[in-house]
């Protein structure tokens, strides 16, 4: 096991006792997306259903040296039709996860959020990065850096609920959420500090459950104990956060990319709040990050099955 990817390999190991999750892969028409899906299938994370132009998928398999024998292919003429057909497989109960292939994220998400034929729930859909940061003991969840551009307080409450659910599905023994801003004091001139304070009060009133939540916190005193002590912040979250809720998509995107390109972190990605977990990967992702994204989706799908069983 490589020390650099120890956190991701722990997530993948946690899936070894779980049967492969049936997963619809939308438009896997390039080498990286098809290879990622087939590698996840090879190690037993997913059971792929490939959705897209059959001849193109087969041609990519041949040119990439991938064996698709025994893998179901659902023919769809183009990327938009692939997204619609992949979502339909979920609606029919044939797939318990959805995975992005070589189509644009907004094409896939348009099919997911469509009112009548999509995968909406009462929750707001949101994205979580699961970051493997070298030198940081635990995986770090950052949300939302990819879906909600300028979330309202109501949106942030759902983004927070989704992230807490993810942390529990990943087996985090204690979920500690820092609601980030540029400062750790409430300042009427900085709206994100007001919203952070409101979210904390929602936690106090049990409108949001399942985690220790504190904010506003600046990034340094959210993840560094020494910085929290210097500022004399008395909190079970400060300096020890394992979930970071950002003020908006721009801040989240910059934070995640800074960790990737300046600190050598890997970023697995997943979308929550729909009927099933959605695996969003990028062409730039390493193989281990793609596999970690699949592992996270498998753990979320398992948690959803168990929750449904408990209710039923």
Q: For the domain that residue 149 is a member of, what is the CATH number?
A: 3.40.718.10
What are 279's strand-pairing partners? 99, 270
Question: CATH code at 15?
Answer: 3.40.50.10950
Per DSSP, the three-state class of 51 is strand
**Whole-angstrom Cα distance, residue 199 to residue 214?**
9
**Range name among 53-67, 90-104, 298-312 with the lowest pLDDT average:** 298-312
Task: Verify that 148 and 36 share a domain, yes or no.
Answer: no
Same domain, 128 and 268: yes
Could you read off the pLDDT of 196-228 as tens digits, one per residue?
A: 999 999 999 999 999 999 999 999 999 999 999
Q: What's the pLDDT at 3?
A: 57
Q: Are 3 and 133 in contact (CB under 8 A)?
A: no
- Whether residue 241 is found in the same domain as residue 304: no
Identify the CA nearest to 299 among candidates 144, 128, 155. 128
User: Residue 1: which domain range?
Assistant: 1-120+274-312
For position 122, what pLDDT does the model report?
Answer: 94
6: confidence class by pLDDT, cuts 50, 70, 90: confident
Please indicate, yes or no, whether residues 149 and 206 belong to a single structural domain of this protein: yes
* Helix segments in the chain, DSSP class H: 6-13, 31-42, 54-64, 79-91, 105-113, 153-169, 191-204, 219-223, 225-230, 249-262, 287-311
| Residue 187 Cα distances to 191, 193, 237, angstroms | 8, 6, 20
pLDDT in tens, 284-312: 788 899 999 999 999 999 999 998 888 86
Return the percentage of the chain with pLDDT > 90, whole number.
Answer: 92
* Across 114-123, average pLDDT: 94
Shared domain check, 259 and 129:
yes
The order of strands in the sheet holding 72-75 is: 72-75, 46-52, 21-26, 97-100, 278-279, 266-272, 126-132, 140-143, 243-245, 176-180, 212-217
């Amino acid at each position: 096991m490589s020390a650099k990817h120890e956190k991701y390999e722990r997530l993948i190991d946690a899936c070894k006792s779980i049967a492969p999750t049936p997963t619809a892969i939308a438009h896997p028409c390039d080498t990286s997306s098809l290879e990622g899906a087939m590698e996840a299938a090879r190690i037993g994370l997913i059971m792929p259903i490939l959705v897209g132009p059959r001849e193109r998928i087969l041609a990519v398999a041949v040119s990439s040296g991938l064996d698709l024998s025994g893998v179901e292919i659902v023919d769809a003429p183009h990327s938009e039709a692939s997204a619609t057909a992949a979502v339909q497989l979920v609606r029919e109960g044939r797939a318990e996860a959805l995975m992005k292939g070589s189509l644009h994220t907004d094409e896939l998400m348009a099919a997911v959020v469509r009112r009548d034929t999509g995968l909406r729930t009462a929750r707001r859909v949101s994205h979580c990065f699961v970051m493997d940061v070298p030198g940081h003991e635990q995986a770090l969840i950052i949300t939302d850096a990819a879906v909600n551009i300028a979330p309202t307080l109501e949106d942030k409450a759902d983004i927070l609920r989704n992230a807490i659910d993810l942390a529990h599905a990943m087996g985090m023994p204690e979920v500690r959420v820092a609601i980030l801003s540029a400062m750790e004091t409430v300042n009427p001139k900085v709206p994100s500090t007001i919203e952070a304070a409101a979210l904390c009060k929602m936690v106090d009133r049990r409108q949001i459950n399942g985690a220790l939540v504190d904010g506003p916190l600046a990034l340094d005193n959210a993840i560094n104990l020494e910085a929290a002590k210097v500022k004399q912040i008395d909190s079970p979250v400060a300096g020890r956060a394992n979930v970071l809720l950002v003020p908006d998509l721009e801040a989240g995107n910059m934070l995640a990319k800074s960790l990737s390109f300046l600190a050598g972190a890997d970023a697995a990605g997943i979308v929550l709040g729909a009927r099933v977990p959605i695996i969003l990967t990028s062409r730039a992702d390493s193989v281990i990050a793609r596999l970690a994204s699949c592992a996270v989706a498998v753990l979320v799908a398992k948690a959803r099955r168990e929750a449904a069983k408990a209710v039923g």
